[in-house]
Amino acid sequence: MPGLCDSRRVNPESPAMPQTFATTDGLMLVYDDQGSGTPLLCLAGLTRNMADFETVLPLADRLRLIRLDSRGRGASDHDPDPANYTIAHEAADVLALLDHLGLPRVAILGTSRGGLIAMALAVQHRHRLTGVLLNDIGPVIEPEGLAAIRDYIGIRPRHADYDQAATGLQRFHAAGFPGVPLPVWRVFARRIYSQAADGLDLRYDPALRVNVLAAAGPAADLWPLFSALAGLPVAVLRGANSNLLSAATLAEMIRRHPGLIAATVPDRGHVPFLDEPASVALIDAFVAALP
């Protein structure tokens, strides 16, 4: 699979014509639907959008690749009530999308929060799933990673342009993503920021911060959500330097789910880009395991 900066990647500044559907509470959400065959739905992380999955677009040559901008992210509507930015609401949005597309079942590639949504769906709607690939997320979320998210979520970047942002991102992620060159961070910056007249802005609703800060407290037990995946093909990617998914948690996931496909991606933190050799190999193995 080509790398992050491959010229065939979609330019975030000139995306394809968006497709939309309405949620049960009236928001218009944007999605992209390419290819045919086995459907794989890509769900991004808390503050991210469908552009994160440009690296896996070549999969559309052999399956149906669907990418979603969750409510409040990317080009989708912001929710007027920040209290609705929850796993439950976003899981309901996924069901609304599947119904809109007439898909009885789908596999999910879930990055971070997207993986939590997939596990939540498995609890009550397991019959809608054919498999789940979790990108750097599991049933135990490390406090260090949560603290890092609380530090930055909802805060507008102080960069004037994408070149400044690339330099800042390279410096900020030096420990977790050593050796990643500036051109890669520039592509990444275009995915997570938009250009405004007075500098870069967030590609998500800053009000997401409200629920994240309100959720501070004892961590919920998420193992029952992971257990709901029993019997499904499940794969897990972990960044070797991840501050959200520990090696110990991944080991316990492997113990509890016989047949789980797992890989640790060197020189990556939270989250792998999905175009690394280890990521590509795991994605291929997961797709091969789907019914």
pLDDT in tens, 188-219: 999 999 999 999 999 999 999 998 988 777 77
3-state secondary structure 234-270: EEEEEECCCCCCCHHHHHHHHHHCCCCEEEEECCCCC
- Domain annotation covers residue 2: no
pLDDT band at 3 (very low <50, low <70, confident <90, very high): very low
pLDDT in tens, 242-287: 999 999 999 999 999 999 999 999 999 999 999 999 999 999 999 9
Same domain, 118 and 214: yes
CATH number where 143 lies? 3.40.50.1820
User: Quick one: average pLDDT of 124-150?
Assistant: 96
Same domain, 231 and 118: yes
pLDDT of residue 215: 78
pLDDT band at 120 (very low <50, low <70, confident <90, very high): very high
Hey, how many other C-beta atoms are within 10 angstroms of the C-beta on 151?
Answer: 8
Same domain, 173 and 220: no
- Domain annotation covers residue 7: no
Distance CA 12, CA 192 (A): 9
Same domain, 109 and 237: yes
User: Quick one: average pLDDT of 27-51?
Assistant: 98
Same domain, 186 and 258: no
- Domain annotation covers residue 9: no
Same domain, 63 and 192: no
**pLDDT of 15 above 90:** no
Alpha-carbon radius of gyration of the chain: 18
| Domain total in the chain | 2
User: Quick one: average pLDDT of 230-245?
Assistant: 98
Hey, how many other C-beta atoms are within 10 angstroms of the C-beta on 214?
Answer: 10
- Domain annotation covers residue 5: no
Same domain, 169 and 274: no
- Looking at every residue in the chain, the average pLDDT score rounds to 93
**pLDDT of 16 above 90:** no
**pLDDT of 13 above 80:** no
Same domain, 33 and 135: yes
Same domain, 100 and 179: no
Same domain, 69 and 189: no
- Domain annotation covers residue 261: yes
- Domain annotation covers residue 14: no
pLDDT of residue 218: 74
**pLDDT of 147 above 80:** yes
pLDDT band at 6 (very low <50, low <70, confident <90, very high): very low
Distance CA 122, CA 87 (A): 13
Same domain, 133 and 271: yes
**For a pLDDT cut of 90, what percent of the chain falls above it?**
90
Same domain, 43 and 123: yes
User: Quick one: average pLDDT of 157-186?
Assistant: 97
Q: Which domain holds residue 186?
A: 157-203
Backbone angles phi, psi at 116, to 5 degrees: -65, -40
Among the candidates 172, 187, 203, a domain finishes at 203
User: Quick one: average pLDDT of 54-80?
Assistant: 98
**pLDDT of 12 above 50:** no
- Domain annotation covers residue 1: no
- Domain annotation covers residue 133: yes
Among the candidates 169, 203, 237, a domain finishes at 203
Among the candidates 146, 172, 203, a domain finishes at 203
pTM metric for this prediction: 0.94
**pLDDT of 10 above 60:** no
